[in-house]
Amino acid sequence: MDNKGFTLVELLVVIFMITILSTLVFFDYGSSSKVFELDRTSQKMAQDMRMMQQKALSGIGGGVDTNGYGLYFSVSDNNYLIYENNNNDPRYDTGDSIIETINLSPDVGIENLKRDNISLGNLSISFFPPGPITYIENYFTNTEGSVTLYLVDNASEKRVVKINNSGRIEITRL
């Protein structure tokens, strides 16, 4: 006898397999979207660093008193500042003009700020023309700064945005 259809058992097995696979994808989607948010935040931070480098290199914007551009991070805040440096101090201070405040997602936090593996409460990264010269805090030679980001719901999921005094920016996964 030549049967050209599906049996009820075959149909139920296929429906069961599709249901199981859909359930696995659905429940994993929430955690993977948060990991994507962590990746997006680290990429945005690196992009903002590159943008400030370019502004210092090209002399875009700012007034005649502009000495450079930078980013300011604090472990206690869930944001970072992009600023225009208005004095010769490479660290952010109240005399500098804030260009933008970047708020991090509620799912992402700043775990650690470092200069040469020394933990800090806050970190200033500044770029001064014409090079641009890259300052990590007050240092512009043989130094590296890093910002460690983490997922609030899963602290083992981390990204580190690093920059050295030559201006090289990289993102690593911990």
pTM of the model: 0.80
What local confidence, expressed as pLDDT, does residue 145 receive? 97
Q: Nearest-CA neighbor of 110 among 138, 135, 78?
A: 78
Can you give the pLDDT at residue 31?
65
Residue type, 117: N
Supply the pLDDT for residue 37. Answer: 94
Decide if 74 contacts 81 (C-beta within 8 A): no
* Phi, psi torsion values for 35, nearest 5 degrees: -65, -40
Residues 48-75 pLDDT 10s: 999 999 999 887 655 554 579 999 999 9
Those residues of the chain that have pLDDT short of 70 are: 1-3, 26-31, 60-66
Residue 158 token pair: 């981390």
Domains of the chain (ranges, CATH numbers): 8-173 (3.55.40.10)
pLDDT of residue 29: 58
Distance, CA of 84 to CA of 154 (rounded, Å): 35
